[in-house]
Structure 1
Amino acid sequence: MGNRAAGAATLKRLRHSRGLSLAGTARALSQTAMALHHPRLPAVASVQRSVARWESAAPTLPDERYQLLLAHLYARTPAGQMSVGPGSDLAELLGALLDLGESESRVALLRTVLVRKATDTGGVPALLTTPLQAGLSAALTDPGQVTEETVAGLGAVVADINAQVGAVPMVRLQLLLTPVIDACRRLQAEALRDPLLGQVRAVFAAACSLAGRLAFENRDDQASRALYATAAAQAERLGDTWRKASVHMSHALVTLYSSSDLSDAQRLVDRAVRATRSGDSVRVRARAHALQAEVAARAGLERQARSALGLAWYDIEGQTSGDPSGSSFSVGHLRGFEGVCELYVGDPSVAHDRFAVSAATLSAPREQVQRAIVRTDQALARIRMGDPRSAAELLHECVLSATATGGRVPAIRLRRARRELRPWRREDFVTDLDDHLMDVLGT
């Protein structure tokens, strides 16, 4: 009940901060519904009673329609500018909804809707609070005014954009990230004092690494390579081994998926593994060993693959809290790598079960790209188990996932899985899949 009371208090505080009465909030919600071309709300008096119930001593949770309208209302400042980043009124509202009992997945979905809106209207400033917008503007005009808060704000924008991968189209995320990279480049060109210079480099490295991934997803391989090179150079200057390893792994993954030659990916993975040996991020080291296992398995090197997997399990099971990288690499992700190894140098039925376990754990919005990849590999395991019809059924689901995430990697994996269905190409279940692929992906 304490949390619900806190949620009600936040809603009341937000309303008062806008100078709105209960009736004023009801009118604002009705106007928002009209602006969004939603069905008209009930009479103002009826809506007012709903607003009062959300803030009462025994508060109720706004229903999904009102949640969306509240989100649109508070995603704009009183001056009408989009503001959806940490510290914004929208962030306060979403926290209140959680306190009132809404699920994390629903709240995450609401925020994604508003971030999409921000890419249409506000751009990067919408992800920054008003004080941070002012701080960044001042810093770009006079680098002597750069503060730790401003640099941290840029870092928060990069993390925010990264969290939307799989939920917001990749091309929109790339557009959001470009101004951050430009800002870091301009700031770094100045004679910044330590530790500000190191903090800018850390944001620059993270931004360029993510931009390299997004450029790859948007089929600009030349830009992707250049961005990864910049990210690696920044990480090298910082001296944080886990940062270097993270850049190399991200680059290795896109290289692995875009080329049939394993040597380039192998070289990048080996660099990542070497870097993590002296690093203090257990999660990054586990991911590096897992990726090393996948590359070895794809090359048919069973002993090396299983050895690397064993090291990854040792790392992930012995991890401690407070990993400096903030990596989300988990047992669920590792099960997916384990499945890939079984698929290429082991038992496809074991691989299928590993993929099923992995997919079940990958439920967060940020994990949907990885889930689409895992499910596609699960379909590949079904083909190798002699069940092509069931594989085709699963691939229909994967087509929808690939479309929803906009990811290039799931689409590449889909095409590879389809090639394995060639012996059954005249069967109805394969021609149906081809029609679906053509309709949705144009391939």
Structure 2
Amino acid sequence: MDSSTAGAAALKRLRTRRGLSLADMARALTQIAQGLGMPRLPQVASVQRSIARWESKSATMPDERYQLLLAYLYATTPGGSRSLGAGSDFAQYLDALGALGESEHRIAELRSTLVRAVTDDGGGLFALPAPRTGAGLAQGLADSSLLDAETVLGVASVVADVNAQVGSLPFVRLQLMLAPALEACRRLMAGGPPEPLLELLRSTRVEAATLAGRLAFETRDDAVSRALYEEATREAACLRQPWRQATVHLSHALTVLYAMPDIAHAARLVERAVRAAECGESPLLRARAHALQAEVAARWGQSRQSSAALGLAWYDIERESTDEPLPGAFSAEYLRGFEGVCQLYVGDPAVAHDQFAASAGALRAPRQNVQRIIVTTDQALARIQLGEARAAVDLLHECVAAAASTGGRVPLIRLRSARLELRPWRREDFVADLDDHLMDALGH
């Protein structure tokens, strides 16, 4: 069975499992369209024929309007609750679209749209786990001895789902979505889970606390951020996988570097991350650690040390293995951005500009939105150093619009730095326009 046929079969299986005939399905989609205020669908018979084509052996892809309606249908359980997590009908529906040939970008858009709808409706985090996970969590919280692996994996998938929305949803909303998962991990561990599940549960807690620390930083709550990173560091030290300690140290180092900025403290955290990553199984994490080590050295004006760390980062990127425990944790596109930062501090701004442009052009996934804003702002800084202020401001306008959608702290820090560098042109109309845009969009 080819991929398209498998996708069509999956769509039919989802429909029939709910006991819906083709006509029932057509009426259900029509009702959803009416509820969303969308243009009226064709007659039921016409919609019914479209559904049949999606499920046929020579299947056609539902168009974007029907994709959205199907997403709303399968995000709602037969009992009327919302469920978007692993194993849910919604997750299986997205898999079916992928099999039919839909792009990863479009599938990510659908997922983001439904997560927004769920949180706007007050469904919050508990719409994200599969139904069985929710029931297992309630049981495990009542009696930790009854906790099972499926439930812990379900909580881990919630943390992963929230993490996947970074760059697509405001950080404040992500905090609200993540908080119950982190609290569940704490309570389950405090209750004394079965020994075989302790490592898995602790790993989930580390991931949740690390992400929560980053989100607290983004929302300017530095005291809470530090406490969460301390919690993640403490729990990660009890795990047998050194790379998990490295992920905590790297995330913490970035917040220290940009919040204070305390380069000495950040450098100590980076060194810990490098040592942990070198003992671990992830070349990508080692590359990320060496890249941040290179940036710290460049900010200190240490050109030779920065260049050496970048060389190690490229070495690790190029030897990524199929056994990589953190696929997607770092990439050449991200590394080019770090190269640009190093060139900005201890090199040639023209070279930095080209490296930033290459990095920003490759960072197109929704999850990469925040990083793309940061890199593009740095590209504008390179333009300013080259004396091309008007071109820099054009780039900064793009960054302001994108930063307003997430409220990210690092993009705002970078934007303020770039604006300060524009002081020699402060009387120019194009700088006044940028100030107006900053005030309108960000209140700065």
Counterpart in the other structure of 1:30: 30
Equivalence for 2:279: 278
Partners of 2:194 and 2:101 lie apart in 1 by: 46
Can you give the 5+ residue segments of structure 1 that lack an aligned partner in the other structure?
none
Partner of 1:335: 336
- Offset at 1:319? 2.1
Runs of 4+ in 1 over 3 A off after TM superposition: none
> Does the aligned pair in 1 maintain the 2:144–2:194 contact within 8 Å?
no
The whole-number CA distance in structure 1 between the counterparts of 2:72 and 2:378 is 39
User: What's the counterpart of residue 318 of structure 1?
Assistant: 319
Aligned to 2:237, the other structure's residue is in SS state helix
| CA–CA separation in structure 2 for the residues paired with 1:99 and 1:57 | 13
Contact 1:284–1:327 (8 Å) recurs in 2 = no
Question: CA offsets, 1:133-176, max 9 Å, x none?
Answer: 11111111110111111111111111111111001111111111
- Contact kept? 1:243, 1:325, Cα under 8 Å: no
Name the amino acid aligned to 1:328. A
* Pairing 1:40–2:40 present: yes
Distance (whole Å) between structure 1 residues aligned to residue 193 and residue 10 of structure 2? 39
What is the distance in 1 between the residues matched to 2:191 and 2:441? 48
Question: Aligned with 2:295: secondary structure?
Answer: helix
For residue 158 of structure 1, what is the aligned residue in structure 2? Answer: 159
Aligned to 1:6: 6
- Partner residue in 2 for 1:388: 389
- CA distance in 1 between counterparts of 2:64 and 2:109 reads 11
SS of structure 2 residue aligned to 1:80: coil
Matches within 5 A, 1:13-24: 13-24=13-24
Cα displacement string for residues 34-57 of structure 1 (whole angstroms, at most 9, x for unaligned residues): 111212212212211211221223
What is aligned with 2:369? Answer: 368
Moved more, 227-236 or 170-179: 170-179
Contact conserved, 1:379 with 1:417, CA < 8 A, in 2? yes
Provide, for residues 68-123 of structure 1, a one-character-per-residue CA deviation record: whole Å limited to 9, x for no partner.
01100110001110001111111111112122222111111001111112223322
SS at match of 1:214: helix
Partners in 2 of 1:418 and 1:117 — Cα distance? 35
Task: Note the C-alpha offset of 1:239.
Answer: 3.6
Q: Which residue of 1 aligns with 2:234?
A: 233
What CA RMSD, in Å, does the superposition of the two structures yield over aligned residues?
1.3
What residue number does 2:197 align with?
196
1:305-336 C-alpha deviation (Å, 9 max, x unpaired): 11111111111112212212345201111111
Q: Distance in 2 between matches of 1:327 and 1:145?
A: 34
Q: Distance in 2 between matches of 1:395 and 1:250?
A: 26
What are structure 2's unaligned runs of at least 5 residues? none
> Aligned partner of 2:350: which letter?
S
8 A Cα contact 2:98 2:104, kept in partner: yes
Query: Where do residues 6-405 of structure 1 align in structure 2 (5 Å cutoff)?
Result: 6-120=6-120, 121-405=122-406
| Aligned 8 A contact 1:166 1:406 in 2 | no
State how far apart, in whole Å, the 1-side matches of 2:381 and 2:53 are: 52
Identity of aligned residues (%): 62
The residue type equivalent to 1:88 in the other structure is S
TM-score by length of 2: 0.97
1:355-395 deviation line (CA, Å, top 9, x unaligned): 11111221111111111100000000000111111001111
Q: How many residues align?
A: 443
Asked if the contact 2:285–2:329 (Cα under 8 Å) also holds between the matched residues in 1, the reply is no
Q: Which shifted more, 151-160 or 333-342? A: 151-160
How far, CA to CA, are the matches of 1:382 and 1:207 in structure 2? 38
The AA in structure 1 aligned to 2:5 is A
1:5 Cα deviation after fit = 1.5
User: What is the CA–CA distance in structure 1 between the aligned matches of 2:160 and 2:90, rounded to whole Å?
Assistant: 17
